[in-house]
Structure 1
Amino acid sequence: MKALGQHVIAELYECDPEMINNHELVETIMLEAAEVSGATVVNSTFHQFNPYGVSGCVVISESHFTIHTWPEYGYAAIDVFTCGDLIDNNKALLYMKEKFASKSISVVEMKRGLLNLPVEQIRVKPVGA
């Protein structure tokens, strides 16, 4: 089925808490992951929370990479949304898993902007259902 984009929601568990609480390191790894995937980086912004945690976004020509970390749980929530067929999201996810020293990863992938699908075939799950 043809789609405009691919949205990957990843959860990294048992990450190195010090690594995912380091603002500069998290930004560097996210920028590198975007490059490894073949994406074109446009800009990035990251924020260090007090007492811990980092949130950030890497804007790419093809959409974005985002992250929010909970070092106290060794957990990082990552979204990778890309348009087109040239970006390798799996490469980026494996790179981030390795660099954040995550012991396990959970991934959900969804197609965004489904095309050539008759309206009666589009199934929308109501919020809260």
Structure 2
Amino acid sequence: MVRDGVRCAGAHLIVDVYGGERLDDIDHIDATLRRCVEVAGATLLHVHLHHFDENGGVSGVAVLAESHISIHSWPEHQYAALDIFMCGDTQPEACVEVLREAFSASNVAVSELLRGRGI
């Protein structure tokens, strides 16, 4: 993959969702991860999500042919942490707007790491 003129294995986005809603809704999170895969042009292999009883949070992963999208949510704090790592001909940044809209986030912070620089 070449991103911003840099050859790398893939782009890894660290995404923090603040002021989010529906972060305890496992079906909504499943649909949101699937929508992210679609808009990024990735290939979904499997989604596995776990709902925690004590706070209603959700933890899980969408496994992709191009790597993964993971989530861990703290609905009691209206916060979710996501990792979006993709290689190949994908657009991981397209997931950010899907997440912002799906969770009605007041703020979404994104950091990008280029993994395997120079390979």
Q: TM-score, normalised by structure 2?
A: 0.91
- d(CA) in 2 for partners of 1:63, 1:3: 14
Q: Give the 4+ runs in structure 1 shifted more than 4 A.
A: none
1:1-129 aligned at under 5 Å gives the runs 1-16=6-21, 19-51=22-54, 52-84=56-88, 86-115=89-118
Structure (1 or 2) with the larger CA radius of gyration = 1
Cα deviation for residue 50 of structure 1 reads 1.0
Unaligned runs of 5+ in 1: 117-129
- d(CA) in 2 for partners of 1:36, 1:106: 19
Unaligned runs of 5+ in 2: 1-5
Q: TM-score, normalised by structure 1?
A: 0.84
What is the percentage of aligned positions where both structures have the same residue? 33
Deviation readout 1:34-89 (Å, 9 max, x if unpaired): 111111101110000012100110011100000000000000101000012x2112
Where 2:9 maps in the other structure, the secondary structure is: strand
CA RMSD for the aligned pairs? 1.0
CA contact (8 A) 1:27 1:56 kept: no
